[in-house]
A and B are shown apart, each in its own frame.
Chain A
Amino acid sequence: DAKTTQPTSMDCAEGRAANLPCNHSTISGNEYVYWYRQIHSQGPQYIIHGLKNNETNEMASLIITEDRKSSTLILPHATLRDTAVYYCIVRVEAGGTSYGKLTFGQGTILTVHP
């Protein structure tokens, strides 16, 4: 699996957009980019994933560069409840009986302040 590199920590003002970068320069053509987050002492929560097109859902947007070597998770209007550790994970598509193993790194600690 391709390795990912994320900043250790970031700050964001409440109400502003939070842009969390992730580098995955060794990503292969069949590998997806997944984002999860973990609020303190809770289980991780799936946010979004994508292959090469930009994706948006009710939680966030995912922007993947054209060469796919990096991506940015955007939380459009960050709130205090978005304070969490954000994990960027790259994996091949799960298919058939593949159960989809996820390998979590250290992630980015996002702190949203008033």
Chain B
Amino acid sequence: ETGVTQTPRHLVMGMTNKKSLKCEQHLGHNAMYWYKQSAKKPLELMFVYNFKEQTENNSVPSRFSPECPNSSHLFLHLHTLQPEDSALYLCASSQVGQGSYEQYFGPGTRLTVT
């Protein structure tokens, strides 16, 4: 595998379910990101992990819980979601300290909350 991978690619879950999204980067980067993209809206940054430490949480509801066990893996744990949380969830990675904002994105997980 190369680049940034995300699993699953599609997920349908009920409002009472608990599920997790997984992201893995094979680029040797040290920063990872979760973005949300709702229909007809710009990408919204949710969380940032820099050197495995969470450095940003953009007022994301607690029903979204990120986890970064190492610099290559990032999870987004989901529980008691609402239908309005249906969106494309994108993971990205970058190399901090290289003077560039070049982020590499995964293909995303299309989440539908019923």
A74-97 CB contacts (< 8 Å) to partner B: 89, 91, 93-97
Interchain CB contact under 8 A, A94 and B110: no
Given A41-B88, A41-B110, A45-B105, residue A100 in contact with residue B55 (CB < 8 A): no
B92 and A43 within 8 A (CB): yes
> Which residues of chain B are within 8 angstroms of A89 by Cβ–Cβ distance?
101
Report chain B residues within 8 Å CB of A25. none
Complex contact A94–B105 (CB within 8 A) = no
A107 to B91, CA, bound (A): 19
Say which one of B12-20, B43-51, B59-67, B72-80 lies at the interface with A: B43-51
The answer to whether A94 and B50 touch (CB under 8 A), given A44-B43, A45-B105, A104-B42, is: no
Q: Which residues of A contact B56 (CB under 8 A)?
A: 99, 101
Instruction: List the A residue with the shortest CB-CB distance to B41.
Output: A106
Question: With an 8 A cutoff between CB atoms, is B97 at the interface?
Answer: yes
Distance between Cα atoms of A45 and B110 in the complex (Å): 18
Instruction: Determine whether B94 belongs to the interface, using a CB cutoff of 8 Å to chain A.
Output: yes
Which single member of A41, A43, A93, A105 contacts B99 (CB below 8 Å)?
A93
Contact assessment for B101 and A102 in the assembled complex, using a CB-CB cutoff below 8 Å: yes
Assembly CA distance A105 to B48 (angstroms): 19
Let me know if A99 and B42 touch, CB within 8 A.
no
* Cβ-based interface call for A103 (8 A): yes
* CA–CA, A89 and B42, complex, Å: 12
Q: B97 touching A96 by the CB < 8 A rule?
A: yes
State which of A93, A97, A99 has its C-beta within 8 Å of the C-beta of B94: A99
B55 pairs with A46, CB closer than 8 A:
no
B-to-A contact residues, CB < 8 Å? 4, 31, 42-43, 45, 48, 50-51, 55-56, 88, 90-92, 94, 96-108, 110
Other A-B pairs, 7, CB within 8 Å; known A99-B31, A104-B42 = A49-B101, A97-B50, A97-B96, A99-B94, A100-B101, A101-B56, A102-B101
Which positions in A face B, CB cutoff 8 Å?
Answer: 32, 34, 41-46, 49, 89, 91, 93-107
